[in-house]
Structure 1
Amino acid sequence: MSTHSPDSSQVSRNASQQKGAAPKGAPQKPSWQRGRWMLLLIALICGAPIAISYFTYYVIKPKGGSTSYGTLIEPQRTIPSALMVTGDDGREVPLDSLKGHWLMISVDGSACGETCAQKLYFMRQVRATQGAERERVVTVWLRTDDAAVPAVVKTAYPDTRMLRADSAAVAAWLPATDKTNDTDHIYLVDPNGNLMMRFPEQPDPSKIKQDVTKLLKWSRIG
């Protein structure tokens, strides 16, 4: 009676199957490919809030009950790189150095009459009502002359940036209406330096607050 010893190739195949190796021809998904898809997924998740906020306000342009109170500025106007401002320290800097925050901007002469003071008050209150999010908002008063600011105004609005700027340069950047001037409005600039909204003359501060709150909620920039 004769016996046949298994050849070496057969022994190797059996050993591989016993160790749980995948059958010959089974598809294998490289680990580097899985990692690439994971990185792409993380990038999409991180970028979604920014994309949604800009898509909502610049593409969808809500109508009906969800219409914004402020007028959207189209096309977008970035802060001019040549627009310089001067603080109380006498140092001249580009206005776009304030990028990185949401800017609420008012324009007036330094004497700051009743309408000017009312706008500064509205901006201060809108910012204060944002709670923990208020640090994302900076209120800015662009003064169009070199006169002194009344002490009572400085005391009442210590957190407002009071900056001197050329009136012609400011007017060329900030659009008014056929019946108004830039000094009649409050403007909103996004953290990327884009002028995005103009609020009406004699505005309702509660409605400005609603617009600002929505923007801060939907956007994580700034």
Structure 2
Amino acid sequence: MSGSNSSAPGSATSSPEPLTFAVHSLPDPRTTGQQRVGRWKMLLVLAMCAAPVVASYFTFYVVKPSGSAYGELIAPTIDMPADLSLTDLQGRAVAPASLRGQWLLAVVHGSDCPAACERQLFVQRQLREMLGKERARVDKLWLIPDTGTPRPEVMAAVSQKGAEVTMLRVPKDRLDAWLKPAPGKALADHFYIVDPMGNWMERAPAEPEPKKLKADLDKLLRASASWDTAGR
């Protein structure tokens, strides 16, 4: 009816819903403190693990307790390339990482191995033997930058039980990107000392004064005794 006070269906206004507040709990100061202590403990453990390595390098490169090195120290050291192409004499690929974990006393000579090569391989063997009980921490390495095979008599000399030399072929251009001779010299004119982490750190004459080069090796082995052990 006209003038009726009745409202049309659906025209009534809905009552507003009451406001609500989300309540977030405050962080427990005890939990926050425990997390902070945990982080400091983790950092302390990492620092303790790294300390022997840092100390050994500081001792050898900075303090040099027994005087200067006989060989030429490489500073900064040069890491062995992770993609260095290595194969054994049977043509099987060898991962560079497999050489880590031992000190390396390395030489570089072609497979023809002339008289100078034979002399250096002999000195390499004698140097390792002179280290006494510490020789188990040092491997002898012969890097061959060609595809030939050494003569049978050379193979026999470097394969004697207990005096084996690790022989690996490596392309010369890849080798040149890692090891470098002194100015005016060739790669074959040196010994190369590589630490257990794969860092080339010293270069010495191919015909050294054995006692002086042994003294360098002794220093390195003493400086790394707290973190390096024999075997990989």
2:60·2:223 contact (CA, 8 Å) conserved in 1?
Answer: no
Q: Is the 8 A contact 2:100 2:198 kept in 1?
A: yes
Aligned ranges 1:1-222 → 2 under 5 Å: 49-58=52-61, 60=62, 62=64, 66-158=67-159, 159-219=164-224, 220-222=227-229
Could you list the runs of 5+ residues in structure 2 that have no partner in the other structure?
1-39
- Offset at residue 138 of structure 1 (A): 0.7
Letter in 2 for 1:77: I
How many residue pairs end up in the alignment?
Answer: 191
Could you say what secondary structure the match of 1:67 adopts? coil
Contact 2:88–2:167 (Cα < 8 Å) also in 1? yes
Equivalent-residue separation in structure 1 for 2:148 and 2:108 (angstroms):
14
AA paired with 1:221? D
Distance in 2 of aligned mates of 1:161 and 1:106: 10
Once the two structures are TM-superposed, the CA of residue 106 in structure 1 deviates from its matched residue by: 0.6
- Root-mean-square deviation (CA, aligned residues, Å) is 2.9
* Cα distance, 1:46 vs structure 2: 7.0
CA gap of 1:39–1:164, structure 2 versus 1, over 3 A, is closer
In structure 1, C-alpha distance between the alignment counterparts of 2:223 and 2:83, rounded to whole Å: 31
Give the TM-score, by structure 1 length: 0.75
Unaligned runs of 5+ in 1: 1-36
Matched residue SS, 2:177: helix
> Aligned to 2:185, what secondary structure does the other structure show?
coil
Residue aligned with 1:66, SS: coil
Q: TM-score, normalised by structure 2?
A: 0.72
CA apart distance, 1:144: 1.2
Quick one: structure 1 residues 140 and 178, their matched pair in 2 at CA, closer, same or farther if it must change by over 3 Å? same
Post-superposition shift, 1:132? 1.6
Q: Which has the larger radius of gyration?
A: 2
Structure 1 position 178, deviation (Å) = 1.6
Q: Is the Cα contact below 8 Å between 2:105 and 2:140 reproduced in 1?
A: yes
Deviations 1:98-125 (A, max 9, x none): 0010011111110101111111111111
Kept in 2, the 8 Å contact 1:50–1:221? The answer is: no
SS of residue paired to 2:141: strand
